[in-house]
Structure 1
Amino acid sequence: MRLVVLGLSLSSAWGNGHATTFRALLKAFAARGHDILFLERDVPWYRDHRDCLTPDYCTLAFYDDLPDLRKSWGVAIAGADAVIVGSYVPEGVEVARFVQATATGTTAFYDIDTPVTLAKLSRGDFEYISAEVIPGYDVYLSFTGGPTLDVLEGRYGAPAARALYCSVDPALYRPTGAEKRWDLSYLGTYSDDRQPTLDRLLLAPARARPDLRFVVAGPQYPASIDWPDNVERIEHLPPAEHAHFYSASRYTLNVTRADMIAAGWSPSVRLFEAGACATAIVSDRWSGLETLLTPGTEIVLADGTADVLAALARDDAAAIGAAAQARILAQHTAAHRAAELEGYLDEAAAVGRRSSVLAGE
């Protein structure tokens, strides 16, 4: 099929998790024989940090603003078999109205931030989507599964809400054989609501075990944070170095945003990427995690500092990492997600055809 995707970014992974998600998914989707055009708003903060300008699995193009999108890409959007708009796309509500009025194929919203989206909607914040445009999408693809899908359909009128979790490209995320450099690592952009958990599950253990080595990689951490001496800081880690980073970690930490913990069924991409590298994961706790990785054997759950210290004292990190890797390669690769996406889009198209027939009758 001809697919057009309007997403936050494909060209730059700086300060966002969208780019790596789109790269893995669309590469696998193209491998299934589909033609893809990715349209990205040209903004300075990503323009200055681009690390993917010529993907070999899709056409990447930029637009300046809504008038430019209409003028330059209206024909492509109208002629596509399916058009996907992603969360956090600038002026997303207006983009939605344009796409829904222009596209003749299936339209979908891909929410990589579903719990954040619902929290925004509940307080009247329509930064990139509004309740008004949700029913206009044929399918709502959600990073969050479980009961949230019922909320999207029942409260907001989504015709079809489907879970499309993040995934991993195993060609890029695999063990590199790196020597273990850190006992516990964390890779993620600074977030106000994640920081207390990072303090409890990494910084406090680092202070309690000055003999061990820790690292936090990611941008935007304030200068006011008091980093223990045994916590290394990496300001930005390009995706090409992620596999080596995980492979050099005995354990890596997964920290979930508060909205996603409340919703449950919201796996972070780092779960799949770290697991594919056979790195043992220590994670905070949320509903639905046990459906993805089995606690105790494929992942370690931690509520507080003592749980992390107990994990660091274990000698079976390699076995936990290997078990996680086997599970993820069997169920959570980009190829699995691409097949799911194809199925959801085909399902929505079939519903649309049936509706057209009934309307004609």
Structure 2
Amino acid sequence: MKFAFFGSSLVSAYWNGAATYYRGLIRNLHARGHQITFYEPDAYGRQQHRDMPDPDWARDVVYGVDGPQEMERALADAAGADVIIKTSGVGIFDEALEEGVLALKRPDNLVLFWDVDAPATLDEMAQDPNHPFRQRVPRFDLVCTYGGGRPVVDGYLALGARQCVPIYNALDTQTHFPVPVDPRFQADLGFLGNRLPDREARVDAFFFHAAAAAPQQRFLLGGSGWDDRERPDNVDYVGHVYTRDHNAFNCTPRAVLNISRESMARYGYSPATRVFEAAGAGACLITDHWRGVELFLEPGREVLVARDGDEVAAHLEALSPERARAIGQAALRRVIAEHTYAHRAAQLDSLLDGRNPARARTVAAA
């Protein structure tokens, strides 16, 4: 089938945490025989901070944002696709894009909304009974999310969604894997994440508090936006970390930390992409607590779970290099067996099988 994705960016992870999710899923859809075009705006400096060339497994179309004309041309270009997808958080012309893809609905195609931040989207609509997206939800053939479990599914169904299915983050084995340690990232604990309003208080609680509670340990902070943030003396800041360096960042510290955004932690069942990236690199992962973590990694054996910064510091204090390696290797085995983007692409294929009239006719004619 031909897929058309309208998203934030496929070729740049700059202020764009969903990039590795899109890449892993789309690369594996291509491997299953599908043709994919990804449409992204030239916005937020992402094209100036690209971390990959145009891929050979998808056609990438960048459109200008000085006015709606280039966006409209992109929509016209996508009109013939079998599956047309508008993702959340494009950041430019979001409402116009949603209406635009819905206008491309035909009897022989599917139009999907793909929410990469469903807890925040649902919270926003809950606070505003007149939110314009409420009226669009029932018009999509299907809503997919990259997490949230039953609470997110129920939230979307209550808004009139025809169907809502989580397609969780996963490991892209092509890009995230064990590598040798890198002296640039030497530390006892590393955290990689952009500075976001929905996360900063939790970073204070789980990372900076842990650093203050364990002054003898070395902490490493990566991600955009932390330049002017006051930090304890034992915290080193390395700024934006390009995806080409993610493996080294994950493999070098004794452990790495995952901190969920507040809304995702509250809904639960929302493992961040970095959970699987760290596990795929064989890193020992410490994660903040959220409901459903045991569905992805086994606490105590494949991941360490902390409810606050004091527990992060306690885990680090008790963590020998040998135990860290054992936890990282157990996590690596688990995600390769159950949580790769090949698994997620197969799930999407199965979900769409029989729903798309064009595919159904092809199968019937075979």
Same fold judged by TM-score > 0.5? yes
| Equivalent position to 1:329, from 321, 328, 336 | 336
Q: Is the CA contact 2:75–2:101 (under 8 Å) kept in the aligned structure 1?
A: no
Instruction: For 1:8 and 1:327, locate their aligned partners in 2 and report how far apart those are by CA, in whole Å.
Output: 30
Q: Which moved more, 1:190-199 or 1:99-108?
A: 190-199
Q: Is the CA contact 1:182–1:249 (under 8 Å) kept in the aligned structure 2?
A: yes
Matching residue of 1:296: 300
Q: Is the CA contact 1:63–1:69 (under 8 Å) kept in the aligned structure 2?
A: yes
The structural deviation recorded for 1:171 is: 2.2
Q: Is 1:202 paired with 2:203?
A: no
1:175 maps to amino acid: P
Q: Which moved more, 1:36-45 or 1:247-256?
A: 36-45
Q: Is the CA contact 2:122–2:155 (under 8 Å) kept in the aligned structure 1?
A: no
| Equivalent position to 1:69, from 68, 71, 96 | 71
Instruction: For 1:43 and 1:202, locate their aligned partners in 2 and report how far apart those are by CA, in whole Å.
Output: 30
**Alignment of structure 1 residues 234-313 onto 2, 5 Å:** 234-312=238-316, 313=318
Instruction: For 2:276 and 2:331, locate their aligned partners in 1 and report how far apart those are by CA, in whole Å.
Output: 9
Q: Is the CA contact 1:184–1:250 (under 8 Å) kept in the aligned structure 2?
A: yes
TM-score by length of 1: 0.91
Instruction: For 2:340 and 2:333, locate their aligned partners in 1 and report how far apart those are by CA, in whole Å.
Output: 11
Determine helix, strand or coil for the equivalent of 1:307.
helix
2:213 maps to amino acid: A
The structural deviation recorded for 1:351 is: 12
The structural deviation recorded for 1:179 is: 5.8
Q: Is the CA contact 2:218–2:235 (under 8 Å) kept in the aligned structure 1?
A: yes
Instruction: For 2:33 and 2:248, locate their aligned partners in 1 and report how far apart those are by CA, in whole Å.
Output: 31
The structural deviation recorded for 1:146 is: 1.9
Instruction: For 1:236 and 1:15, locate their aligned partners in 2 and report how far apart those are by CA, in whole Å.
Output: 9
Q: How many residues align?
A: 350
Q: Can you list the C-alpha shifts for 1:259-300, whole angstroms capped at 9, x where unaligned?
A: 111111111001000010111111111111111111111111
Q: Is the CA contact 1:38–1:61 (under 8 Å) kept in the aligned structure 2?
A: yes
Q: Is 1:5 paired with 2:5?
A: yes
The structural deviation recorded for 1:61 is: 0.6
Tell me, which stretches of 5 or more residues in structure 2 are unaligned? 362-366
1:283 maps to amino acid: T
**Alignment of structure 1 residues 316-355 onto 2, 5 Å:** 316-349=323-356
Instruction: For 2:210 and 2:21, locate their aligned partners in 1 and report how far apart those are by CA, in whole Å.
Output: 30
Q: Is the CA contact 2:280–2:336 (under 8 Å) kept in the aligned structure 1?
A: yes
The structural deviation recorded for 1:91 is: 2.2
Q: Can you list the C-alpha shifts for 1:90-139, whole angstroms capped at 9, x where unaligned?
A: 22222122212224311111110000111111223999x70111111111
Matching residue of 2:145: 142
TM-score by length of 2: 0.90
Distance 1:157 1:298, change over 3 A: same
The structural deviation recorded for 1:72 is: 4.6
The structural deviation recorded for 1:193 is: 3.6
Pairwise CA RMSD: 2.2
Matching residue of 1:108: 112
